[in-house]
Amino acid sequence: MSRWGLRRTTGRGALLAIAAVLCVAAAPTRRETPLEAALRQHVETLASDDFEGREPGTPGETKTLRYLARQWFDIGMESGTNDPAHGWFAPVELVEREPLSFRASFAKGRKRVILPQDAGLVVTSGIRSLVEDAPVLFVGHAIDRVPPRTDLAGRIALMLDSGGNGAQGDPRADRLLDAGAAAVVTVLDGKRSIDDVIARRKRAGYALSGERLGDEIEAFVSPAAAQSLLAGLGSTATMADLRREADGADFSPRLLGIVGTLEATSRETRISTHNLIGKLEGRNPAAGAVVFMAHWDHFGRCAEPPAEDLICNGAVDNASGLAVITETARILSRGRPLDRDVYFLATTGEELGLLGALAFAENPPLPLDKIVAVLNVDGTGLAPAGQPFSVIGKGATPLDPGIAQVARAMRRKLTSSENANAYIKRQDSWVFRQHDVPAVMVSTSYSDEARLEKFMDEDYHRPSDEARKVQYGGMADDVLMQVELARYFADARRYSSPVRGGVRTP
């Protein structure tokens, strides 16, 4: 600013304006509330490098569960396993299966062509699976209908790619296998390469120990390799011919006159891990229970050198959820007991396929039909304070009216959009809904789609998901919402659970 300009602004009004600016500049930033400070302490601890990314079956699990159990015990919870042999920690045994080797060949008469290792992939859900000289049935796109079992039994279904997710599997292949196919071979369409499929499908898969995994075989073949196989067997049909045939309105599956041999092996590892279950006992446990849950697991070391940051700390996903249910329990423990029991469940194996929630549902500490509401907390801490709430599971459970009533009483807004339901199958509450138990997530983190997408694009399942990026004001809002939801759904007079399975629960 010039000297002239300074003299022109030194009148009384200008001095007041300057003083106001200086006061604003010197004003202290808003201090954290005690609740926000407690949430920060939990997240910074659980998402620290010392906890090594909270991978199941590692020292990081031991540290995580020891920390949470100490917090929950100090709050005044009691064990919720209802199993004297396993207080607090419910054992969960996982099976890890990693693809090891494969071979594939196809024959027509005396001609046999071997699939090169770099042109395809064969995987099995078992330890070793073999299909030998099985007839190949071309099923086209296999979208509208599945051939009858009489057509599929003992045969290899050859299917055209739909550009699906090679990591999660193709539901069309699942339907064909369920209908009796001995194996399914997918010919890629060029939108994804065989290298992409190999990178995804050669990762380890996980299941609960004791769960029947079967020995189904799936195979993937590049378009060029499929064409070479047909040509090498002297087939008059080309892949272009088969695609035109599949696109026809009158298409029906047919045998190609060739047989296939597919073999795949896997390496199996068993992982001993745990769910943590606590409980605040209600005045009338016979009235049922409310369950709060958050998964404790993450990916451990998820990057390789020369990257400097090798650990996926999982601050938002899901140290934040653990912090929220812990502080929810603390506030509830300071009030008078509620009618219903309130369980707190920290699940293992969510990142591996919702496996800890599945273990709980298959061996619950209380009958599932006694659970009136499950409230999951996963991926909070994305939004600042004062944002509206979204319901993941909106419109799918009888909990909506109660959630709306609680929000009105708190003078908080619920978004009318159901866009957050895009995440309905990607978190633990989905398991409970498959068992007819009403389960939702209520959070501010899913109401701002732009902020959510930014997290998913930049930090989700990456080492950059760190405590320094968490919004503790929004987390505090989530805690207060969970507290009021607990008070509503655990009050037998305010909420009478609906009929489930033909029986009205107490």
What would the pLDDT profile of 121-142 be if each residue is shown by its tens digit?
A: 999 988 999 999 999 999 999 9
Bond prior to 285 in cis (omega within 30° of 0): no
Residues 87 and 111 in one domain: no
What pLDDT digit, counting tens, does each position of 251-268 carry? Answer: 999 999 999 999 999 999
Which pLDDT value is given to residue 17? 45
86-119 burial code (b ≥16 CB/10 A, e <16): eebbbbbebbbbebeebebbbbbeeeebebeeeb
Q: Is the pLDDT of residue 188 over 70?
A: yes
Residues 47 and 138 in one domain: no
Which pLDDT value is given to residue 213? 60
Domain of residue 192: give its range: 96-268
Neighbouring residues of 314: CB distance < 8 A, sequence distance ≥ 6: 47, 53, 54, 298, 299, 465
Residues 50 and 40 in one domain: yes
Which pLDDT value is given to residue 141? 94
DSSP code string of 141-173: T--S-PPPHHHHBT-EEEEE-----TTT--HHH
Q: Would 405 be classed as within a structural domain?
A: yes
What pLDDT digit, counting tens, does each position of 343-379 carry? Answer: 999 999 999 999 999 999 999 999 999 999 999 999 9
Strands (E), 86-127: 89-108, 111-114, 120-124
Q: Would 4 be classed as within a structural domain?
A: no
Q: Would 196 be classed as within a structural domain?
A: yes
Which pLDDT value is given to residue 7? 33
Given pLDDT bands bounded at 50, 70 and 90, which one contains residue 191?
confident
Q: Is the pLDDT of residue 12 over 90?
A: no
Q: Which two tokens stand for residue 406?
A: 């609680």
Cα gap 470→94, rounded to integer Å:
31
Residues 258 and 276 in one domain: no
- Percentage, residues of the chain above pLDDT 90: 81
Q: Which two tokens stand for residue 30?
A: 């808003």
Given pLDDT bands bounded at 50, 70 and 90, which one contains residue 306?
confident
Which pLDDT value is given to residue 162? 75
Tell me the CATH number at 90.
3.40.630.10
Name the burial class of residue 478, with classes exposed (0-12), middle (13-18) and buried (19+) by CB atoms within 10 angstroms of its CB. Answer: buried
252-280 burial code (b ≥16 CB/10 A, e <16): ebeebebbbbbbbbbeeeebebbbbbbbb
Task: Assess contact for 182 and 131: CB atoms under 8 A.
Answer: yes
Cα gap 350→353, rounded to integer Å:
5
Q: Would 339 be classed as within a structural domain?
A: yes
Kindly report the number of other CB atoms within 10 A of residue 3's CB atom: 7
Q: Would 29 be classed as within a structural domain?
A: no
Q: Across all residues in the chain, what is the average pLDDT?
A: 90
Q: Is the pLDDT of residue 9 over 70?
A: no
Count of the separate structural domains present in the chain: 2
Cα gap 234→51, rounded to integer Å:
59
Q: Is the pLDDT of residue 23 over 70?
A: no
Q: Of 249, 268, 287, which residue is a domain's last?
A: 268
Name the burial class of residue 307, with classes exposed (0-12), middle (13-18) and buried (19+) by CB atoms within 10 angstroms of its CB. Answer: exposed
Residues 480 and 363 in one domain: yes
- Percentage, residues of the chain above pLDDT 70: 90
Given pLDDT bands bounded at 50, 70 and 90, which one contains residue 199?
confident
Mean pLDDT lowest among 47-61, 101-115, 150-164, 312-326: 150-164
Neighbouring residues of 289: CB distance < 8 A, sequence distance ≥ 6: 282, 340, 341, 342, 343, 366, 370, 371, 372, 490
Residues 303 and 244 in one domain: no
Cα gap 442→314, rounded to integer Å:
20
Task: Assess contact for 440 and 393: CB atoms under 8 A.
Answer: yes
Q: Is the pLDDT of residue 502 over 70?
A: no
Kindly report the number of other CB atoms within 10 A of residue 134's CB atom: 18
Q: Is the pLDDT of residue 143 over 50?
A: yes
Given pLDDT bands bounded at 50, 70 and 90, which one contains residue 280?
very high
Which pLDDT value is given to residue 489? 98
Q: At what angle do helices 34-46 and 59-75 cross, to 10 degrees?
A: 160
Q: Would 362 be classed as within a structural domain?
A: yes
Task: Assess contact for 378 and 294: CB atoms under 8 A.
Answer: yes
Q: Would 408 be classed as within a structural domain?
A: yes
Q: Which two tokens stand for residue 407?
A: 């929000």
Cα gap 461→311, rounded to integer Å:
10
Residues 102 and 77 in one domain: no
Residues 389 and 343 in one domain: yes
Which pLDDT value is given to residue 214? 67
Residues 377 and 426 in one domain: yes
Q: Would 240 be classed as within a structural domain?
A: yes
Neighbouring residues of 171: CB distance < 8 A, sequence distance ≥ 6: 164
Neighbouring residues of 106: CB distance < 8 A, sequence distance ≥ 6: 112, 113, 115, 136, 229, 233, 258, 259, 260, 261
Greatest Cα pair distance, the chain, in angstroms, is 104
423-439 burial code (b ≥16 CB/10 A, e <16): bbeebbbbbbbebebbb
Q: Of 242, 268, 294, which residue is a domain's last?
A: 268
CA quadruple 148, 151, 154, 157: dihedral sign: negative
Q: Of 216, 239, 268, which residue is a domain's last?
A: 268
Cα gap 115→187, rounded to integer Å:
13
Given pLDDT bands bounded at 50, 70 and 90, which one contains residue 163?
low
- Of 285, 355, 356, 296, give the one whose Cα is nearest residue 320: 296
Residues 317 and 459 in one domain: yes
Residues 208 and 190 in one domain: yes
Residues 299 and 382 in one domain: yes
Strands (E), 156-242: 156-160, 183-187, 205-208, 217-221
Mean pLDDT lowest among 208-217, 303-312, 320-329, 372-381: 208-217
Tell me the CATH number at 129.
3.50.30
DSSP code string of 388-404: PBEEETTTSSTTHHHHH
Kindly report the number of other CB atoms within 10 A of residue 44's CB atom: 17
Which pLDDT value is given to residue 169? 60
Which pLDDT value is given to residue 6? 32
What pLDDT digit, counting tens, does each position of 398-411 carry? Answer: 999 999 999 999 99
Q: What is the DSSP letter of 21?
A: H
Q: What is the DSSP letter of 50?
A: G
Q: What is the DSSP letter of 126?
A: S
Q: Which two tokens stand for residue 224?
A: 């060029």
Q: Which two tokens stand for residue 436?
A: 């007819």
Given pLDDT bands bounded at 50, 70 and 90, which one contains residue 212?
low
